[in-house]
Amino acid sequence: MPASHAARLLAVQEHLSLIRRQRTMKPEMGALPLSSNQQKK
């Protein structure tokens, strides 16, 4: 079971790294949802 847990952590780290790359590549994409949420509130 620990092996699957480690694999899951690696998958999460890879997913987070992709999100960070997208934010650095296109910061506007990450800022749009936040601004829309603030406007709704």
Domain count for the chain:
1
Angstrom distance (rounded) from CA 1 to CA 24: 35
pTM (two decimals)? 0.45
Q: What are the tens digits of pLDDT across the range 1-41?
A: 578 999 999 999 999 998 888 777 665 555 555 555 555 55
CA 5 to each of CA 2, 11, 21, 30: distance values in angstroms, whole numbers, following the listed order: 5, 10, 24, 29
- Domain extent at residue 22: 2-40
